């Protein structure tokens, strides 16, 4: 579909053509008709699908250039992403003279931003922490805001920005258009949509959602540990939860795996609450790829983007099986569920033998002998949290500013009352640790250590 089918100005359409945008991408074709009608949308589409232009065209189309007030705010999780968005908006904005787009992100001089703000702007692209700081200091006024955009909302929530976002919302008019863009779609995103949007239209381009898409495979084995390692070596999941039936087995299996250089942590009923929390945080932020769990301990665990569930032990009931494997293949992603069983369990496993499940021989698995599984991130613990008024933006600011890390090297940030956990790319952990130890966050030094 051509952009010319939309009620856009000729200038806008020809500017888009100059950028090489003739046809709309699928997300643009689906979202723009609603966006141009001022409706709220919750959009999900994979990266590189043209989401920026989808909201960019919408907010630029609605802009009143003569009115020199901030009319749109785009919130992004990191400075780098804000930069990309601002760049794309500026190219599209060429269709009209004098559109002012201003970036407000952490890691840049606050004073300079104050100066730019004094000259007013039409569109602000920023990160939640810095935008909030300007709102608190009254250097930014959003009382004329028409459109609020959350780009990569899922990542913003992952980075712990929920408090900043809620605080920003206090400063924006209730009557507004709110556009939410996310690569993933789950309960957290739905909750936030319900909170901040009004009758949002759900737009997605990845088909066949909702129903989980899980491949289920069963392997008969006489050596479960070996088969488990071969399963991991064959399918190379990004992460996996392995279920055992007892606490002791969970503990022992995690140890066995670590000895085999497969990074794993166990979660079971014998852990203290704080230990349990450390484990969950590390698994959820990709600081450990494998979690070995009992059913009770895994209850209520909501891990996004879980690639694989492995039943190391056959569950006692089919219901438990369904519950276990339902943790993978969420949000339209493909999931895989592997079940191991021994020959004496053949009768018990028969009840699972349906058409859509595969029963396989272990000979089809690769036997690498050497196989290492390392995490993507390592978790840094900061001995300060909500009680110290630490916010994700402060931590991100310290890491990307003084400590010199790129926003993309920082993963999930979880902030609790007295502690904060930050996932840092594995290779950068020593640097980040050293730097952060010597850096003040909110004018205070905190104890920092590697989990």
Name the site residues for ligand ADP (rule: CB under 6 A). Answer: 20-21, 24-25, 28, 45, 47-53, 88
CB 317 within 8 A of CB 250: no
User: Binds 208, which of Mg ion, ligand ADP, none (CB < 5 to 8 A, cut-off by type)?
Assistant: none
What is 91-130 written as a DSSP string?
Answer: HHGGGSTT--EEEE-TTS-HHHHHHHHHT--SEEEE-HHH
User: Binds 391, which of ligand ADP, Mg ion, none (CB < 5 to 8 A, cut-off by type)?
Assistant: none
Residues of this chain that bind Mg ion (CB under 5 A) = 51
User: Binds 279, which of ligand ADP, Mg ion, none (CB < 5 to 8 A, cut-off by type)?
Assistant: none
* SS3 call for 164: helix
Q: Which residue from 284, 277, 292, 288 is spatially nearest to 247, judged by alpha carbons?
A: 292
Q: Tokens representing 151?
A: 């780009």
Q: Are strands 448-450 and 264-267 parallel, antiparallel or unpaired?
A: unpaired
Min dist CB 88 to Mg ion, Å, is 9
For Mg ion, the closer of residues 31 and 340 by Cβ is 31
Min dist CB 404 to ligand ADP, Å, is 25
How many helices (DSSP H) and strands (DSSP E) are in the chain? 17, 18
For ligand ADP, the closer of residues 20 and 369 by Cβ is 20
Q: Which residue is it, tokens 């995490």?
A: 375
For ligand ADP, the closer of residues 51 and 130 by Cβ is 51
The separation between the first and the last C-alpha atoms of the chain, rounded to the nearest angstrom, is 51
Min dist CB 47 to ligand ADP, Å, is 4
Give me the residue whose beta carbon is nearest to Mg ion: 51
* SS3 call for 31: helix
CB 50 within 8 A of CB 25: yes
- Dist. CA 425–CA 420, nearest whole Å: 16
User: Binds 53, which of Mg ion, ligand ADP, none (CB < 5 to 8 A, cut-off by type)?
Assistant: ligand ADP
For ligand ADP, the closer of residues 28 and 113 by Cβ is 28
For ligand ADP, the closer of residues 55 and 341 by Cβ is 55
How would you list the strands of the sheet with 410-415, edge to edge? Answer: 410-415, 420-425, 377-382, 448-450
Min dist CB 132 to ligand ADP, Å, is 23
Q: Residues with Cβ < 8 Å from 138, sequence gap 6 or more? A: none
CA 213 to chain centre: 20
Q: Which residue is it, tokens 């191991």?
A: 340
Q: Tell me what percent of the chain is helix, strand and coil, each rounded to the nearest 5.
A: 40, 20, 40
Min dist CB 48 to ligand ADP, Å, is 5
Min dist CB 28 to ligand ADP, Å, is 6
CB 392 within 8 A of CB 129: yes
User: Binds 411, which of ligand ADP, Mg ion, none (CB < 5 to 8 A, cut-off by type)?
Assistant: none
For ligand ADP, the closer of residues 29 and 131 by Cβ is 29
User: Binds 25, which of Mg ion, ligand ADP, none (CB < 5 to 8 A, cut-off by type)?
Assistant: ligand ADP
For Mg ion, the closer of residues 135 and 189 by Cβ is 189
User: Binds 24, which of Mg ion, ligand ADP, none (CB < 5 to 8 A, cut-off by type)?
Assistant: ligand ADP
Min dist CB 128 to Mg ion, Å, is 16
Min dist CB 97 to ligand ADP, Å, is 22
User: Binds 353, which of Mg ion, ligand ADP, none (CB < 5 to 8 A, cut-off by type)?
Assistant: none
Min dist CB 50 to ligand ADP, Å, is 3
For Mg ion, the closer of residues 156 and 240 by Cβ is 156
CA 309 to chain centre: 20
User: Binds 239, which of Mg ion, ligand ADP, none (CB < 5 to 8 A, cut-off by type)?
Assistant: none
For Mg ion, the closer of residues 85 and 140 by Cβ is 85
**Residue 99 CB coordination number (10 Å):** 17
């Amino acid at each position: 579909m051509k952009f010319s089918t939309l009620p856009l100005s000729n200038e806008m359409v020809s500017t888009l053509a100059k950028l090489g945008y003739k046809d709309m991408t699928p997300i643009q074709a689906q979202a723009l008709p609603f966006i141009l009608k001022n409706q709220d949308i919750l959009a999900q589409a994979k990266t590189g699908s043209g989401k920026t232009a989808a909201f960019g065209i919408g907010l630029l189309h609605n802009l009143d250039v003569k009115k020199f007030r901030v009319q749109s705010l785009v919130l992004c999780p990191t400075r780098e992403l804000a930069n990309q968005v601002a760049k794309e908006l500026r190219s599209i904005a060429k269709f009209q003279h004098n559109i002012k787009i201003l970036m407000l992100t952490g890691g840049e001089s606050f004073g300079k931003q104050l100066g730019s703000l004094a000259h007013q702007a039409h569109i602000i692209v920023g990160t939640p922490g810095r935008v909030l700081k300007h709102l608190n200091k009254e250097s930014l006024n959003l009382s004329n805001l028409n459109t609020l955009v959350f780009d990569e909302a899922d990542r913003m929530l992952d980075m712990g920005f929920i408090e900043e976002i809620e605080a920003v919302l206090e400063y924006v008019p209730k009557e507004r258009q709110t556009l939410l863009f996310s690569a993933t779609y789950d309960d957290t995103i739905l909750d936030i949509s319900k909170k901040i949007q009004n009758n949002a239209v759900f737009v997605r381009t990845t088909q066949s959602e909702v129903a989980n898409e899980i491949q289920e495979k069963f392997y008969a084995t006489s050596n479960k540990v070996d088969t488990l390692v071969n399963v991991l070596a064959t399918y190379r999941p990004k992460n996996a939860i392995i279920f055992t039936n007892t606490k002791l087995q969970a503990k022992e299996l995690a140890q066995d795996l670590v000895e085999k250089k497969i990074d794993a942590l166990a979660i079971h009923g014998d852990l203290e609450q704080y230990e349990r929390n450390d484990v969950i945080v590390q698994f959820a932020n990709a600081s450990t790829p494998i979690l070995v769990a009992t059913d009770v301990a895994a209850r209520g665990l909501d891990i996004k983007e879980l690639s694989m569930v492995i039943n190391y032990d056959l569950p006692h009931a089919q219901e438990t099986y369904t519950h276990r494997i339902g943790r993978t293949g969420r949000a339209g992603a493909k999931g895989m569920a592997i079940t191991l069983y021994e020959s004496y369990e053949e009768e018990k496993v028969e009840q699972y033998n349906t058409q859509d499940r595969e029963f396989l021989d272990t000979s089809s698995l690769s036997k690498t002998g050497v196989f290492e599984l390392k995490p993507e991130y390592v978790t840094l613990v900061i001995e300060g949290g909500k009680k110290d008024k630490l916010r994700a933006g402060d931590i991100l600011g310290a890491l990307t500013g003084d400590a010199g890390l790129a926003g993309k090297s920082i993963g999930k940030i979880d902030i609790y009352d007295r502690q904060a956990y930050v996932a840092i790319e594995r290779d950068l952990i020593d640097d980040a640790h050293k730097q952060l130890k010597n850096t003040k966050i909110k004018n205070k030094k905190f104890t920092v250590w590697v989990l």
